[in-house]
């Protein structure tokens, strides 16, 4: 069953709704469903790198070892998928987006980012949203390394937006002055994706 034990789940779902934590159109799940386009990529950490380019004074390229040496922290957050499920009180450990930004100098007109994942996947986000203190490049979830299906070795997590913006198998991002649609946005998904406004599709 996708949403776990029916009685206990429904009681907890009602509690989260009363607390104002469950966005409209969402249901609580006790599991973590696996959803993505294409196959799970095979990642070779010996050749893995993380690149930042676009509107920065100097492009950045980090190896896996260098990326892991950045300061790490933990974030507790809720997740909301565009397919109508929400999972609460997740613990993610990794590198805050703001720590990566300390390594580059964005140009004055940099306002957006196109985040890149494996297999050519992309997602667009405003830089202002990425700079929030809960945006993290996660290595671990609830104390365990990310599974391959959930984005191993590292996944971007942007908790306040629908989960498709939280790019799995992330490999970097490019800063730009204009908002450019990513993979799902070109397929008709919303350019921003606010769960509280039910911004699922470009018609919402």
Q: Domain span at residue 191?
A: 6-197
Domain assignment present for residue 203? The answer is no
Largest CA distance in the chain: 55
Return d(Cα 198, Cα 112) in angstroms, integer: 21
Sequential DSSP letters for 122-143: EEEEEHHHHTSTT-EEEEEETT
Domain assignment present for residue 202? The answer is no
Return d(Cα 77, Cα 138) in angstroms, integer: 12
Return d(Cα 27, Cα 48) in angstroms, integer: 36
pLDDT for 6 equals: 61
Q: Print pLDDT tens along the chain (204 aa).
A: 344 456 689 999 999 999 999 999 999 999 999 988 889 999 999 999 999 999 999 999 999 999 999 999 999 999 999 999 999 999 999 999 999 999 999 999 999 999 999 999 999 999 999 999 999 999 999 999 999 999 999 999 999 999 999 999 999 999 999 999 999 999 999 999 999 999 999 998
Domain assignment present for residue 1? The answer is no
Q: Please state the pTM of the whole predicted model.
A: 0.94
Return d(Cα 173, Cα 156) in angstroms, integer: 11
What's the CATH number where 44 sits?
3.90.420.10
Residue 98, token pair as written in the block: 């703001």
Q: How many domains, the chain? A: 1
């Amino acid at each position: 069953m996708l949403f776990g034990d029916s009685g206990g789940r429904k009681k907890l779902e009602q509690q989260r709704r009363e607390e104002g934590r469950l966005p409209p159109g969402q249901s609580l799940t006790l599991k973590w469903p696996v959803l993505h386009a294409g196959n799970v990529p095979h990642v070779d950490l010996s050749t893995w790198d993380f690149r930042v380019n676009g509107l920065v004074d100097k492009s950045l390229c980090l190896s896996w070892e260098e990326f892991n040496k950045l300061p790490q922290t933990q974030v507790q957050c809720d997740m909301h998928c565009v397919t109508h499920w929400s999972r609460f009180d997740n613990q993610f450990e990794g590198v805050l987006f703001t720590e990566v930004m300390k390594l580059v100098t964005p140009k004055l007109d940099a306002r957006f980012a196109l985040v890149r994942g494996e297999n050519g996947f992309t997602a667009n986000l405003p830089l202002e949203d990425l700079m929030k203190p809960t945006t993290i490049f996660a290595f671990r979830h609830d104390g365990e390394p990310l599974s391959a299906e959930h984005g191993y070795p590292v996944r971007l997590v942007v908790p306040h937006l629908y989960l498709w913006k939280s790019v799995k198998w992330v490999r970097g991002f490019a800063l730009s002055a204009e908002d450019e649609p990513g993979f799902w946005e070109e397929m008709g998904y919303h350019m921003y994706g606010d769960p509280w406004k039910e911004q699922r599709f470009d018609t919402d």
